Amino acid sequence: MCRTCIICRKPLNDGIIVYGKGICESCEKRLLIIDEETDFYDFYKNCIKKNLVRLIPRGVNENCRDYQ
């Protein structure tokens, strides 16, 4: 299991876990209010892309019942 936030790299004591990767509560809150026109938006997007996209199953749709 993850021990650090995938965005800020601080120890993960709270927040959310997505496919075994963690985002701390502080970064989660920032993600909810961030403006798309900022450099931080691109930074967060790249952190998520680098850490999570490869873990998401391809070709899964709403009718798929093969949960992992």
Contact 24, 14 (CB under 8 A): yes
Distance of CA 65 to the CA centre of its chain: 23
pLDDT of amino acid 47 = 87
Torsion sign across C-alpha atoms 19, 58, 61, 34: positive
pLDDT of amino acid 66 = 53
pLDDT digits 0-9 by tens, 22-57? 999 999 999 899 999 988 899 988 888 888 776 666
pTM value is 0.68
- What is the residue extent of each domain of the chain? 16-54
Going by C-alpha positions, the residue among 33, 46, 26, 63 that lies closest to residue 13 is 26
pLDDT of amino acid 21 = 86
